[in-house]
Amino acid sequence: MTIHEILKLYWGYDTFRPLQEDIINTVLEGNDTLALLPTGGGKSICFQVPALAKEGLCLVISPLIALMKDQVQNLKNKGIPALSISAGMSFLEVKKTLQNAVHGNYKFLYVSPERLETNLFLEYLPAMNINLVAVDEAHCISQWGYDFRPPYMRIALLREYLKETPILALTASATATVQDDICTNLAFSKKQLRFQQSFERANLSYSVFNVASKQNKLLEILNNVKGSAIVYCKSRRHTKDITDLLLLNNINASYYHAGLTTDERNKRQEAWINNTTRVIVSTNAFGMGIDKATVRVVVHYDVPYCLENYYQEAGRAGRDGKRAYAVSLFNNRELQDLKLQSAIRYPNKEEIKKVYAAIMNYLQVAAGSGEGVSFDFDLSAFTAAFKINILTSTYSIKTLEQEEILQFNEVFFKNSTLVFNCDKEQLVAFEQQYPQFEAVIKGLLRSYEGIFDFPAAIYESQLAKFIQKKLPELLKELKQLHQLGIVDYTPQKDKPQITLLQNRMYADSFVINLTNYLKRKQNFEKRIDSIYNYIQQTTICRSRLIAAYFNDLAIKECGICDNCINQNDLVIDVEEFETIAASIFKQLAKKPLLPAELIKKLADIKKEKFWKVMDYLQAENKINFNKEGKMQKI
């Protein structure tokens, strides 16, 4: 099929969005390509269509488990066979998936960048007919960007195995420096091509409000703008507090953050997508990969730390092309706090070393051991036990991740697993002795092939329905079977995990790359300056401010952001100018007045217009200030 036939068959569209067709044709010609497509710009079609147009399998590299699962499910719903390998899968599950990728009729394999380095993956890679490597969230490859992930740096090693296979790097937000970094670190060929879609969102109105009461302003916004909404906050506690506020004011809302169980997050996300919940109040854990077109407003209750995050999150509003709003709320104290973030987010080396030693002691890891081992890790319990500030711990762990000393997976999920510890004859004897377990044993044997040979991922809720038992009763019986030694049952895990990537270092050998660490800190400070300037700016079009940050200098003033509207309100024609000037002269003819006194007497005139006329009259020497600081007519 042609690419247009593929688009029509699987997506139902007759035409591509701007740049999509150019990117697809470039990839089909075998060129390494960087595609910078803003949020909602249709990045997935850029690799899914060419992969379907060619023989073979597309390898998709993504750091986001939820996004991988979502895209794989969407492909399956279209009748396109796809696979994914994610954290929590057993060795045998991974092996079976790789075998399917080699021998099955699959078109896509989604993996995390960490997976590429495993011996098992590299063993199967040469046998896969890879037609394209798609690197999603490609900005993660640059340590000078806002979301650096070290495993991305080693994706280029695939070149050794896939010499003729083109790489398509995709991202929604990358500065010119980060774009160069992406192409360099992925070892792009000289024939590389770059595409950058305009950052213009003609239907999205940006605005910023400095308010004394954010709560009142938020209620005002949500009462005035009907429809689906997202409210972003910086802390988990804030998400619940604001949700409670909205519910008290009869606004249907729910909160979402990484501390909720996987099941709870999924339920709340689905309720919002299906419009059962109108407003989702969330940390930045929410939204990636969600393609809900009808979001009418995105409110940032707290000032974000960089324009990259802000643009992505705000861009989740108005994807249907209808008018939508992106609103930021702030107060002066927040702006002062912004300037302090660098010291908080980049602890000194001694603080990082102290946190590292405390984690090793907390996990009871001996010096010189631990590499490759994973542990449940409760950050709150850890900081309480060692009396370490939670922010210092959080950002020290982030640094240890970037230095590839350990890996912290805050949103970890591993399915329940079960394997029989006996042979079939022993099982028959057991059932005769314990007939009350017959239903659950037969249900397991009928539902999960190979459960005698290796641990199978089991789904308790499905099994309970199959054998017509209540879930709590089934869980109790599975635990009893485990205690009796007939099965090895491991309930699902839904806790944060730390995985050690190196053996525990001795105290005198602890080392991090300080040069790169300090440069990352410097780049963070530049991003803080950019968001600070965005918040403070009151005259320049906000769409142009954002686009210029990403080196898109061609877009026109949007005309619908708060700054554009305020500037348009300041346009004064000759008749209005003369009316305002006459009013000023009339008041000053009586006696000199302080500016505040004059403004009060001319309360029906907009302050901005008043000052615009005053500046002109002063420049023309028609009025001036006397020694008492009062205005007078000359």
Domain 204-338+537-555 -> CATH class: alpha beta
Is 59:111 a contact under the CB 8 Å cutoff? yes
At 198 the three-state DSSP class reads coil
At 489 the three-state DSSP class reads strand
Cα 128 to Cα 58: distance, rounded to the nearest angstrom = 10
Cα 554 to Cα 575: distance, rounded to the nearest angstrom = 35
Cα 528 to Cα 436: distance, rounded to the nearest angstrom = 63
Cα 441 to Cα 420: distance, rounded to the nearest angstrom = 10
In this prediction, residues 214-224 reach a mean pLDDT of 96
With 70 as the cut, is the pLDDT of residue 97 above it? yes
Q: Torsion angle of alpha carbons 218, 220, 221, 225, nearest 10°?
A: 140
Give the pLDDT score at 570: 67
The pLDDT-based confidence of 487 (bands split at 50, 70, 90) is very high
In this prediction, residues 110-136 reach a mean pLDDT of 92
Q: Residue 418: beta bridge partners?
A: 456, 489
Give the pLDDT score at 35: 96
With 70 as the cut, is the pLDDT of residue 42 above it? yes
Residue (of 345, 332, 378) closest to 212 by Cα position: 332
Bigger pLDDT: 464 vs 263: 464
Is 133:166 a contact under the CB 8 Å cutoff? yes
In this prediction, residues 271-276 reach a mean pLDDT of 94
With 80 as the cut, is the pLDDT of residue 91 above it? no
CA 29 to each of CA 24, 194, 297, 588: distance values in angstroms, whole numbers, following the listed order: 9, 14, 40, 75
% of the chain residues with pLDDT over 70: 98
Residue (of 281, 268, 193, 187) closest to 232 by Cα position: 281
Strand locations in 148-203 (E): 167-171, 193-196
Segments of the chain assigned to CATH 3.40.50.300: 3-196, 204-338+537-555
pLDDT digits (tens, 9 = 90+) for 50-78: 999 999 999 999 987 767 878 898 899 99
Bigger pLDDT: 48 vs 587: 48
Give the CATH number of domain 341-413+496-524; options: 1.20.81, 1.10.10, 3.40.50, 3.30.70. 1.10.10
Give the pLDDT score at 613: 86
> What sign results for the dihedral spanned by CA atoms 374, 379, 385, 389?
positive
In this prediction, residues 17-36 reach a mean pLDDT of 95
CATH number of 570-633: 1.10.10
Does the predicted model carry a pTM greater than 0.95? no
Give the CA count within 13 Å in the CB-facing half-sphere of 530: 22
CATH fold label, 416-490: Arc Repressor Mutant, subunit A (1.10.10)
Segments of the chain assigned to CATH 1.10.10: 341-413+496-524, 416-490, 570-633
Q: Residue 167: beta bridge partners?
A: 133
With 90 as the cut, is the pLDDT of residue 568 above it? no
pLDDT digits (tens, 9 = 90+) for 497-533: 899 999 999 888 899 999 999 999 999 999 999 999 9
CA 495 to each of CA 262, 327, 376: distance values in angstroms, whole numbers, following the listed order: 9, 34, 6
Of 18-22, 340-344, 590-594, the one with minimum mean pLDDT is 590-594
CATH number of 3-196: 3.40.50.300
Q: What is the mean pLDDT of the chain?
A: 90
Residue (of 86, 83, 195, 123) closest to 497 by Cα position: 86
Query: How, if at all, do strands 295-300 and 324-330 pair?
Result: parallel
